[in-house]
Amino acid sequence: MKLTYLLKRYCFALLLLSAAGYSQANDEENIKSIANEACNCTEKISVEQPKDSIIKKINECIRTFIVTTQMVEELGGDVKKQVENTIAKGEQGTTVVQNGKTYTIAVNKNFDEIQEYMFNNCESVKTLISTNNGLMDYSMSKNKKALKFYNEGTDYEVKEMYDMAIVSYTKALKADSKFSFAWDNLGLCYRKRGNYKEAIKCYEKSLELDPKGTTPLQNIAVAYDYLKDYKNAAATYEKFKTLHPDNPEGYFGAGRTYYIINDFEKGTDNMFKAYKLYKVQQSPYVNDALQNLRFYYKDLKEKNKLEIFNQAAKNNNVNITG
User: DSSP string covering 169-218, please?
Assistant: HHHHHHH-TT-HHHHHHHHHHHHHTT-HHHHHHHHHHHHHH-TT-HHHHH
* pTM of the predicted structure, to 2 decimals: 0.66
Structural domains counted in the chain:
2
Report DSSP state, residue 93: E
Among residues 105, 128, 151, the one where a domain terminates is 128
Domain assignment present for residue 10? The answer is: no
Question: Which positions ≥6 away from 190 have C-beta within 8 Å?
Answer: 166, 196, 198, 199, 202
Domain assignment present for residue 297? The answer is: yes
Domain shared by 68 and 147, yes or no: no
**Cβ neighbours of 57 (radius 10 Å):** 17
Domain shared by 89 and 32, yes or no: yes
Domain assignment present for residue 172? The answer is: yes
Domain assignment present for residue 119? The answer is: yes
Domain shared by 180 and 107, yes or no: no
Domain shared by 208 and 253, yes or no: yes
Domain shared by 98 and 184, yes or no: no
Among residues 102, 128, 154, the one where a domain terminates is 128
Domain assignment present for residue 298? The answer is: yes
The CB-based long-range contact list for 54-59 (8 Å cut-off, 24+ gap) reads: 54/128, 54/129, 54/131, 55/129, 55/281, 55/282, 55/283, 55/284, 58/115, 58/118, 58/125, 58/128, 58/284, 59/111, 59/115, 59/282
In tens digits, the chain (322 residues) has pLDDT values of 333 333 332 333 333 333 333 344 567 888 888 889 889 998 888 766 666 678 788 888 888 888 778 777 666 555 455 555 555 555 445 555 555 666 677 777 888 888 888 888 888 887 777 665 454 455 777 889 999 999 999 899 989 999 999 999 999 999 999 998 899 999 999 999 999 999 999 999 999 998 888 889 999 999 999 999 999 999 999 999 999 999 999 999 999 999 999 999 999 999 999 999 998 888 878 889 989 999 999 999 999 999 999 999 999 987 665 5
Domain shared by 124 and 179, yes or no: no
Domain shared by 120 and 153, yes or no: no
Domain shared by 276 and 300, yes or no: yes
- CATH number of the CATH domain containing 225: 1.25.40.10
Range of the domain at 146: 138-321
Domain shared by 158 and 72, yes or no: no
Among residues 128, 151, 183, the one where a domain terminates is 128
Domain assignment present for residue 15? The answer is: no
Domain assignment present for residue 14? The answer is: no
